[in-house]
Structure 1
Amino acid sequence: MHDQKASAAQALRLVTSRFPNALGALLGGSVTQGRATATSDLDVAVLLPDTDVTRREVVRHEGRVVELFLNTLADMPEFFEWDRARRRGTVLFLYDRGLPLYDPHGHVRHTREQARAVLAAGPPPLTSAEWDRGRYGLTCLKDDLADSPVGSRHEQLVLADFALREAAHLLTAHHGAWTGIGKWLPRRLLSADPVRGKALLDGHRAVAETADPVPLATAVEDVLHLVGGPLREGYAQPWRS
């Protein structure tokens, strides 16, 4: 595990040198969760005056990659709602769980309170059209996966990836839970539903390791029945909604 104190000092040097007018800053990501290694990047959120611009930047500081989440104070409520609508809450969780680096006027503390209120409300529920689109797409992926010949490993692996992602989307939505991408997908999936989440992840691994699509197809079917069943015939999607 990379030293948290050293990482925090490094992040603070970056903030004070690049953003002398910053209203506050905090360090998040793997460093604050005890998961970091010496090569892990730093996730740093910086609150800026309203004369600046909300944006995201990636820089290298003292030989280390740093992802900067730069937000003006006035933009935070709208930005948090945008982050909530994506159902991942990336910056919301950064403020909720991050380590304050610099907060002379209490702006970071207040912004953390805002983030926690939005997180407590949970992600927005899916609309009826979104449920139908998700069920239809996952049904197609399940059927294609179950029918995939062992020799078509590229197709099989791609289908497994998409099936896992779509099943995770529907399963977390069913539980009113946050989802994620990359390394956060399995973490959020297991948090939302340890049993069905593990079945999906184990099924995905079975496709990768043994070319056996049955466990994943079975786990996907279980998710489909939980959210209303497979959907094929009768599905319709208007071009304009």
Structure 2
Amino acid sequence: MVKLDPIQAATQFIAEQFPNCQGAVLGGSVVRGEATETSDLDIVIFDESLQSSFRESLTAFGWPIEIFVHNLFSYRYFFEMDCKDAIPTMPRMVSEGIVIKDEGIIQSIKQEAIALLSHGPEKWSDETIIEKRYFITDVLDDFIGSKIRAEEIFIANTLANLVHEFVLRINGHWIGSSKWIVRALKIYDEKFAQEFVDAFDKFYQSGEKDNIIAIVDKVLEPYGGRLFDGFLLGEKIFNR
């Protein structure tokens, strides 16, 4: 089947499958100009007759399509959950989305999404920062000490996730997962993002760890550096 233009495909899909919905937006990579050969259409649909939200994947008009279907209230729960996790997938899709259908509801929902994104994630407490320093230190020690290549690869993956989270959350930015790790870092600081990618790329190609270790220390240093000795999680309470 011939692949239609994404907006045309989304418009026809809504007209055929959700003709009575109150609104729909097309989001995702096709809207941002980042689509690849395997990209799908992400469509958020608002239908007041729906009793509960659902997500479905299907193929139509030559496109893989993912739909996120909500009534006029349920979407707020997913906005809140995404923001709590600091990965604002739904708010981002809605805020940047192209309007496919609107019966007077989309603008206010977009404003809700934009306000949440502008506010940023919840600020970490001092206790959380201490915990994160400890867990990063623990993984870094494993990384430095490991001599088994297969294990080093996956330790590095864990370290990349933890450090990216620390850098972004400590600076009030949203985090990412998968490809959005790099995108989120670029939104924060393109120079740092490139240093980060280069350090891990060098390790994966040659096994060289020094650049990763240097970046981790650089990130932790303003907040007290590595942490092991003296870390306590919970309370020491003894029965006597």
Decide: shared fold, TM above 0.5: yes
* Secondary structure at the counterpart of residue 74 of structure 1: coil
The corresponding residue for 2:178 is 182
TM-score by length of 2: 0.90
The Cα offsets for residues 1-25 of structure 1, whole Å up to 9 and x where unpaired, read as: xx9x811111122222222321110
* Secondary structure at the counterpart of residue 5 of structure 2: helix
Larger Rg: 2
The Cα offsets for residues 98-133 of structure 1, whole Å up to 9 and x where unpaired, read as: 111111x22111100111111111111123333222
**1:48-67 correspondence to structure 2 within 5 Å:** 48-49=47-48, 51-67=50-66
Q: For structure 1, which runs of at least 5 residues remain unmatched after alignment?
A: none
* Preserved contact between residue 54 and residue 72 of structure 1 (Cα < 8 Å): yes
Moved more, 189-198 or 208-217: 189-198
* Secondary structure at the counterpart of residue 139 of structure 2: helix
Moved more, 134-143 or 166-175: 134-143
**1:1-241 correspondence to structure 2 within 5 Å:** 6-49=5-48, 51-103=50-102, 105-149=103-147, 152-238=148-234
* Secondary structure at the counterpart of residue 65 of structure 2: strand
The corresponding residue for 2:238 is none
The Cα offsets for residues 32-69 of structure 1, whole Å up to 9 and x where unpaired, read as: 11111343111111112154311222222234221212
How big is the alpha-carbon RMSD for the aligned residues of Structure 1 and Structure 2?
1.9
Decide whether aligned partners of structure 1 residues 94 and 169 sit closer, same or farther in structure 2, where only a CA change above 3 A counts.
same
* Secondary structure at the counterpart of residue 67 of structure 1: strand
Q: For structure 2, which runs of at least 5 residues remain unmatched after alignment?
A: 236-240
Deviation of 1:147 (Å) = 2.0
Q: Determine the C-alpha separation between the residues in 2 that align with 1:160 and 1:192.
A: 22
* Preserved contact between residue 50 and residue 70 of structure 2 (Cα < 8 Å): no
Decide whether aligned partners of structure 1 residues 228 and 12 sit closer, same or farther in structure 2, where only a CA change above 3 A counts.
farther
Q: Determine the C-alpha separation between the residues in 2 that align with 1:126 and 1:201.
A: 25
Decide whether aligned partners of structure 1 residues 134 and 45 sit closer, same or farther in structure 2, where only a CA change above 3 A counts.
same
**What is the one-letter code of the residue matched to 1:26?**
V
Which portions of structure 1, spanning 4 or more consecutive aligned residues, are displaced by more than 6 angstroms?
none
Q: Determine the C-alpha separation between the residues in 1 that align with 2:49 and 2:111.
A: 19
**What is the one-letter code of the residue matched to 1:6?**
D
Q: Determine the C-alpha separation between the residues in 2 that align with 1:148 and 1:157.
A: 10
Deviation of 1:145 (Å) = 1.4
Q: Determine the C-alpha separation between the residues in 1 that align with 2:135 and 2:194.
A: 21
Corresponding pairs, count: 233
Moved more, 164-173 or 192-201: 192-201
**What is the one-letter code of the residue matched to 1:129?**
E
Decide whether aligned partners of structure 1 residues 14 and 228 sit closer, same or farther in structure 2, where only a CA change above 3 A counts.
farther
* Secondary structure at the counterpart of residue 34 of structure 2: coil
Q: Determine the C-alpha separation between the residues in 2 that align with 1:121 and 1:50.
A: 31
TM-score by length of 1: 0.89
* Secondary structure at the counterpart of residue 67 of structure 2: strand
The percent of aligned pairs where both chains have the same amino acid is 27
Q: Determine the C-alpha separation between the residues in 2 that align with 1:226 and 1:16.
A: 54
* Preserved contact between residue 134 and residue 227 of structure 2 (Cα < 8 Å): yes
* Secondary structure at the counterpart of residue 9 of structure 1: helix
* Preserved contact between residue 136 and residue 159 of structure 2 (Cα < 8 Å): yes
